[in-house]
Amino acid sequence: MPDSRLLQLLALIALLNILHLVDHILRGDFHWPIDEQSVGFMIVTTVILGGMALGVWLYRAGHVGPRFWTIVGTLGLGLGWLSHFSPMTDQPLLVIYHGYMAPGAGAMAIGCLLLLMVFVLGATIFAGYLWMRRTAS
Q: Find the helix packing angle between 66-80 and 4-26, rounded to 10°.
A: 20
The predicted pLDDT at position 61 comes to: 98
What is the C-alpha separation between 70 and 126, in angstroms, rounded? 8
Average pLDDT value for residue range 96-119: 98
Closest by CA to 115, choosing from 2, 6, 20, 48, is 20
φ, ψ (nearest 5 deg) of residue 35 = -125, -170
**What value does the mean pLDDT take over residues 72-96?**
97
How many helices and strands, by DSSP H and E, does the chain display? 5, 0
Closest alpha carbon to 81 in 49, 46, 116, 50 = 116
Residue 137 has pLDDT above 90, yes or no: no
Q: Kindly report, residue by residue over 42-66, the tens digit of the pLDDT.
A: 999 999 999 999 999 999 999 999 9
pLDDT given at position 37: 87
- Residue 64 has what pLDDT? 98
Q: Is 111 exposed, middle or buried (0-12, 13-18, 19+ CB in 10 A)?
A: exposed
**pLDDT tens-digit series, residues 120-133:** 999 999 999 999 99
Provide the residue ranges of all domains of the chain, joining segments of one domain with +. 4-136
| Cβ contact 3:120 at 8 Å | no
pLDDT higher than threshold 90 for residue 4: yes
Of 52 and 1, more confident:
52
Q: How far is CA 71 from the centre of its chain?
A: 13
